[in-house]
Structure 1
């Protein structure tokens, strides 16, 4: 029963240790995920917020040319920005660009005729709000997250007309690096889900696909339009065994041994005692049989208290009732008067010298029968 109770307790403690270890591991991953999430949100929102100032300028100058557009846009590419380029598309056709170098292939792109960008561009126009798409393959090469901001300007009759779209392209690799996703010492594997800011229902666009299938820690990156879902697990996967598992198991094993070993030792001692009792009982029966067969009576005389103990065979020899066995036996009173002096002398000599006692004398039983008795003893302390 002790072993069963200890085993159940140890299993429960091991399970609880696993639960606590898993919770600690998930908390550690979540702390790193929240840091990445905050950086992504800050970088994306910061880049797109810069472009809002350019949109306000376009509203006031709807007919600005490339030179004016480039002059205003160049001020947005400061230190820490992940902007790759900014394009202006009056009537959904790109005609304004900064920087022009390396991005001139995008000039003339009609969003309505481009399968990859038409849906997002028209959605921005129809919803009259910023739409973040991506990552998308850019015509001029590479990938980027494209924030499309619809621009509406004042027209006659105090109405608004659709001017077009200002598109800000955020460089994918620079954004990932600035947000810590490419840090070799991060210690976790990350997946980003929600292409085109569609949240957890969108496609995965960053990281290993196994991450999302490995019970990851998740957090949502809130974007100007929609969100991304971050999923993360430890670099080498979730630990199957806590780091302190074997130490805890060793402690439980020692504690269990401290409980079980005394039981085992006690059981062994009890078994040994029972075997000794059985052997003693067997020897006692043999002695009893030997004494009965030889008609020898056994007595003890405590010299300090003068108390005697004897067995039933002594009672039989002296003609006493059975059952008496302790007290002050009238030993001298039973000795024949002619032998009393010699018997007393033999007893006194043995007790005085500490040597063996041997005496022969006659006794007179209560029924008058005379018996010859040989009495022997040794003295021990």
Structure 2
């Protein structure tokens, strides 16, 4: 019998083809896994840098906010010197007391006539600085000359002080005009400086706390940016691919660099899990393909379908990665914007609280009982009030700054500092007082390119007589007999910060107070507060409640008005800031 033909070669060829197809399918899965792992690692590194950038942006916002608040103090000193070039040490000491009262981070303030320190407060502990020629100090000469030549404020430091310690110095050049109005050019008088303790700036930005989480370094001594020396952290951080952020300071910049404390990680924590799942999937796909290769027809259909599904899966994967990148980029930008806004609101809220006179200070005023209430419609109030007592003369201010937030908080600070500085300089003429405040605020707003304004009324009390100046809401007077008098302030002034000179608008009105008479000052958030019936609280209701409570102490009158106002609101959220001030003649 003839020997039958063997079919071994075709069988071996089919087996080799099955193995090759299975290996190819497994390889495709592994390649897709590799692409996915690479994408995950890139996204992880991007997210890690975004987290560092978010923390670094918060530090930058806090640094800029604190430095700008101290800049206003130096500019206030320079503006005062420009108006009073013959200022004495005693006058400067009175003004220095006001400036340092609520700014614990300030070591001292000084004036350097012709760049030689001539006035300083406090003098004790700073005697060695008197007579110091700033231009003659090599480590300070460049910053001083830059401030004079450019006629702009500069931040010098950190500087090792001759009296001991290390500090940052905010210097503003002061120029005086010998003959105003004759187009004469200003003459350099000297420098006004605010010396801020080094650690006060660092702690205001939470640098010690953040440095526990990040390897954080700052360079740019004297505002020289990346050309300046390192003064916080280790210089080698700049060689470790750090996140970089610029801090804008007066007439210069600092550069912040940061990396994670443990360094950058190249691999995502879940990369190993992805590889494990991808390996298992490649084995499973290879086994299925190898099994299907035993049936050519079914295999062809299965391969075609698997190829389509794999291509679809790869396209979906690429689309998902693109969408994920876009979402994470948008999330990162939103997080940075939110962090900056929160830092600004925190600074503005702190400034607003610093401006309000404490209850102990109001209780110490003997001729009058004074009580107050203030509530913000948002995180930061745009209302302002202050009570300043100087001997038997009491200066009371109330105003409403347009808008809310950091810019409104800075405008409030400028008004408060200007008022306290003028009073410390013994300026009691109400018309000049209000016009000087307006001129200083107008010039600062123009320089800062801010479109803000405020209403402001000033009340001068002395010996039972109250003198009103400035434009604000009505002043309500309830006599002890129950008679109600309302004084319109629209013709007594003009909004602050709109015109450079408001002297011809400023008028005054005078009224006499007897024992038991009550004076009510308020912002429009009180009278325009709307309840659930969309009806305003109104001046008439405010007058009626005050009249009914006139025989009670000032603090109880305020409590009664606030209780009636909340009853009117009926748990509705007020749409505007509310401030109430009640004065009662003892």
Q: TM-score, normalised by structure 2?
A: 0.44
- Which residue of the partner structure matches residue 492 of structure 2? none
- Which residue of the partner structure matches residue 85 of structure 1? 108
- Which residue of the partner structure matches residue 224 of structure 1? 250
Shift of 1:159: 4.2
Alignment partners' CA distance in 2, 1:210 and 1:56: 43
Q: List per-residue Cα deviations over 1:170-190 (Å, max 9, x = no partner).
A: 211111111011116852221
Alignment partners' CA distance in 1, 2:278 and 2:80: 72
Shift of 1:266: 6.8
Which of 116-125 and 78-87 deviates more?
Answer: 78-87
Is the contact made by 1:198 and 1:228 (CA closer than 8 Å) also made in structure 2?
yes
- Which residue of the partner structure matches residue 69 of structure 1? 92
Which of 207-216 and 21-30 deviates more?
Answer: 207-216
Shift of 1:16: 0.6
Shift of 1:201: 2.9
2:186 is paired with a residue of what secondary structure? strand
- Which residue of the partner structure matches residue 231 of structure 2? 205
Shift of 1:39: 0.2
Q: List per-residue Cα deviations over 1:96-145 (Å, max 9, x = no partner).
A: 11122222211110112211112221221122111222112111122222
Alignment partners' CA distance in 2, 1:108 and 1:80: 25
Judging changes above 3 Å, is the alpha-carbon distance between structure 1 residues 261 and 201 closer, same or farther for their aligned structure 2 residues?
A: farther
Is the contact made by 1:191 and 1:231 (CA closer than 8 Å) also made in structure 2?
yes
Is the contact made by 2:157 and 2:167 (CA closer than 8 Å) also made in structure 1?
yes
1:59 and 2:85 are equivalent in the alignment: no
Alignment partners' CA distance in 1, 2:279 and 2:27: 13
Alignment partners' CA distance in 1, 2:101 and 2:37: 55
Alignment partners' CA distance in 1, 2:41 and 2:101: 49
Judging changes above 3 Å, is the alpha-carbon distance between structure 1 residues 265 and 74 closer, same or farther for their aligned structure 2 residues?
A: farther
Shift of 1:74: 2.0
Judging changes above 3 Å, is the alpha-carbon distance between structure 1 residues 80 and 61 closer, same or farther for their aligned structure 2 residues?
A: closer
1:177 and 2:203 are equivalent in the alignment: yes
- Which residue of the partner structure matches residue 172 of structure 2? 149
Give matches, 1:6-17, under 5 Å.
6-17=29-40
- Structure 1: 5+ residue stretches without partners: 271-381
Q: List per-residue Cα deviations over 1:302-341 (Å, max 9, x = no partner).
A: xxxxxxxxxxxxxxxxxxxxxxxxxxxxxxxxxxxxxxxx
Is the contact made by 1:94 and 1:107 (CA closer than 8 Å) also made in structure 2?
yes
Is the contact made by 2:49 and 2:243 (CA closer than 8 Å) also made in structure 1?
yes
Is the contact made by 1:40 and 1:221 (CA closer than 8 Å) also made in structure 2?
yes
Q: List per-residue Cα deviations over 1:59-96 (Å, max 9, x = no partner).
A: 12212122211211222224455322211111111121
- Which residue of the partner structure matches residue 161 of structure 1? 187
2:134 aligned to 100, 103, 111, which one?
111
2:219 aligned to 173, 193, 203, which one?
193
Is the contact made by 2:73 and 2:194 (CA closer than 8 Å) also made in structure 1?
no
Shift of 1:150: 0.8
Is the contact made by 2:30 and 2:279 (CA closer than 8 Å) also made in structure 1?
no
- Structure 2: 5+ residue stretches without partners: 1-23, 296-586
2:74 is paired with a residue of what secondary structure? helix
Which of 244-253 and 234-243 deviates more?
Answer: 244-253
- Which residue of the partner structure matches residue 30 of structure 1? 53
Shift of 1:220: 1.1
User: Max radius of gyration: which structure?
Assistant: 1
Judging changes above 3 Å, is the alpha-carbon distance between structure 1 residues 242 and 8 closer, same or farther for their aligned structure 2 residues?
A: same
Judging changes above 3 Å, is the alpha-carbon distance between structure 1 residues 238 and 110 closer, same or farther for their aligned structure 2 residues?
A: same
Is the contact made by 2:243 and 2:259 (CA closer than 8 Å) also made in structure 1?
yes
Q: List per-residue Cα deviations over 1:30-84 (Å, max 9, x = no partner).
A: 1111110000000111111122112211112212122211211222224455322
Shift of 1:263: 4.5
Is the contact made by 2:45 and 2:266 (CA closer than 8 Å) also made in structure 1?
no
When the two chains are superposed, the root-mean-square deviation of aligned CA atoms in Å is: 2.1
Q: List per-residue Cα deviations over 1:192-243 (Å, max 9, x = no partner).
A: 1211111223222211222211111111111121111111111211112212
Alignment partners' CA distance in 1, 2:257 and 2:87: 44
- Which residue of the partner structure matches residue 125 of structure 1? 148
1:166 is paired with a residue of what secondary structure? strand
Give matches, 1:226-305, under 5 Å.
226-263=252-289
